[in-house]
Amino acid sequence: MNSLVIVLVSATLYLVACNTYGRFLAKKIFKVDPSNKCPSETHHDGVDFVATDKLVLFGHHFTSIAGTGPIVGPAIAIIWGWVPALIWILVGSIFMGAVHDFGSMIISLRNEGRSIGDLAGEIIGPRVKFLFMLIIFFALWIVIAIFGVVIASVFSIFPESVIPVWLQLPIAIWLGFIVYKKGKSHIIFGLIATTLMYATIGIGAYTSDLLPTLSVGTWVVLLLIYAYAASTLPVTVLLQPRDYINALQLCITMGLLLLGIVVTHPPMVAPAVNWHPEGAPAIFPLLFITVACGAISGFHCLVSSGTSSKQCDSEGSAQGISYGGMLLEGLLAVIVLIACGAGIGLGLEKAGITYTGTEAFTQQYASWQSAEGLGAKIAAFVTGAANMISGHGLPREWVITLMGVFVASFAATTLDTATRIQRYIVAEIAVSCKVPALGKKHPATFIAVITALLLAFSSGGGKGALALWPLFGAVNQLLAGLALLVITVWLAKKKIPTFYTSIPMIFMIAMTGWAMKINLVDFYTKAEWLLFGMGMVITLLQIWMVAEGVIVLARLRRKA
């Protein structure tokens, strides 16, 4: 099939969904009321709780939930064929992911900007709060440690991206100063800042050979130091302006990719369906764990109820930020799917030989092992994207640097947002355990960073988190299912129909439970006892929390 048809149909579906299903949820299910006061007003502190223009907040929210997720997931899921991946991205994002994000944000907005993990205790029961917070801490612990490795890997694959990514920081601080201290237009100066960022891409493209080569461990330390500083600064200093620049960068890059699809309109060279790729696990349930961001991801509930709810200026902005942000991420995942399944067919160079068409895809995705590594996933996307963007005349060297910066800067956004959210989680746990001193900004951030550092250096010179990475996909999707459970109970208590959240909840809990069972059997067979032990603990926590939720729902049903 022609890639242009796929992207046009997908974009149309998302536009229709946002203006129909999204509005229905806002009006009939979550009952959005713009007159309600938001936590950014009632708890304003100038650091975390800051009322923010909805376009600026959309930039923060979108770049935080996106990260590298909508790139990595589709780039490997296409090995099962582009049709199953596309269907899951479209259906998952519209009816599951966007509902999950929207509900998480609304609940937090109505409850002082508290995280959904903290609210689980109030909505379902105190034991559930502790169970949920443990799962969230574990997931963020891995994310913070692993994203240092991800960014270090991107810097290794694309050394041209190092200078632009780091120079983005002073540009973002300047933008925050000029907008918040001088009262200038965030649109005009945001575009100026983005232009400056693109100028640094030109510098990076031609000076990368002059930079020293740093080890992964060194990069991890530097990035965690950065994450500590970024997550303790007021959001107006770095987080918001940096994410706003990244959001503009994303819009431009997506525009270039869409224009590239229009100009080159490559046909899909990936198979429509491939039930048994060499060495790959079964498509069901692994597809639903592999493609998370872009369809539904538990990490999103942490952003929606962690940082975005504290900065939202009005409930009326919530639908566009959370529901709309998820749909835009879905469109990005569709574009990634096209880059890997069609753009790569325009030319793939390996060992001095250039492959095109179906042969190019086959070379890149010869087996599950060849497509599984981080480098292979990023390379497939960047190669396909560069092929399409170069189709309208831009220099290929500049385009490859652009895509490297795109991936690295989004990963950096996820790193410091995850660190800030982990700080909130540590603070909430500290208050629950009656040690509020550890919940203050710097002690909580120190705990968040030092635990990630210890995991990173537990083995492999900064790559220690890779030992637990096989658990992350299932744990992340489990978070989504459990967040939907909390949202469902919240709606039931308010006597609002729960059909629209309970069906996605059941589906996600069933899929993650199935996937975890497969993982546990695999870990046991291979005698990977750390993974097996951690997996068993998480499974028991899941069963316990679901049981508590079901008991509450049954009690509410009897009272109805």
pLDDT digits (tens, 9 = 90+) for 385-409: 989 988 777 777 778 878 888 888 8
pLDDT of residue 468: 83
The per-residue pLDDT for range 451-485, each reduced to its tens digit, is 999 998 987 778 888 888 888 888 899 999 999 99
Specify the 3-state DSSP secondary structure of 333: helix
3-state secondary structure 28-43: HHCCCCCCCCCHHHHC
The per-residue pLDDT for range 219-272, each reduced to its tens digit, is 889 999 999 999 999 999 998 899 899 888 888 888 899 999 999 899 999 999
For the ranges 60-69, 378-387, 445-454, the one whose mean pLDDT is highest: 445-454
* Cα(412)–Cα(189) distance, integer angstroms: 22
Contact 444, 277 (CB under 8 A): no
The residues, any chain, with a CB within 8 Å of residue 552's CB and separated by 6 or more, are 124, 125, 489, 492
Neighbours of 277 (CB within 10 A): 18
Burial label, 433 (beta-carbon count in 10 A; 0-12, 13-18, 19+): exposed
User: If you average pLDDT over every residue of the chain, what do you get?
Assistant: 90
pLDDT of 338 strictly over 70: yes
Confidence of residue 374 (pLDDT cuts 50, 70, 90): low
pLDDT of 206 strictly over 90: no
Contact 487, 501 (CB under 8 A): yes
Burial label, 187 (beta-carbon count in 10 A; 0-12, 13-18, 19+): middle
Give the DSSP letter string of 46-104. SSS---B-HHHHHHHHHHHHHTTHHHHHHHHHGGG-HHHHHHHHHHHIIIIIHHHHHHH
What's this model's pTM, rounded to 2 decimal places? 0.92
Specify the 3-state DSSP secondary structure of 111: coil
pLDDT of 287 strictly over 90: yes
pLDDT of residue 469: 80
The residues, any chain, with a CB within 8 Å of residue 307's CB and separated by 6 or more, are 48, 60, 61, 64, 235, 239, 417, 420, 421
pLDDT of residue 470: 82
Confidence of residue 423 (pLDDT cuts 50, 70, 90): very high
Whole-angstrom CA distances from 277 to 289, 317, 369, 515 are: 17, 44, 10, 18
pLDDT of residue 371: 67
pLDDT of 201 strictly over 70: yes
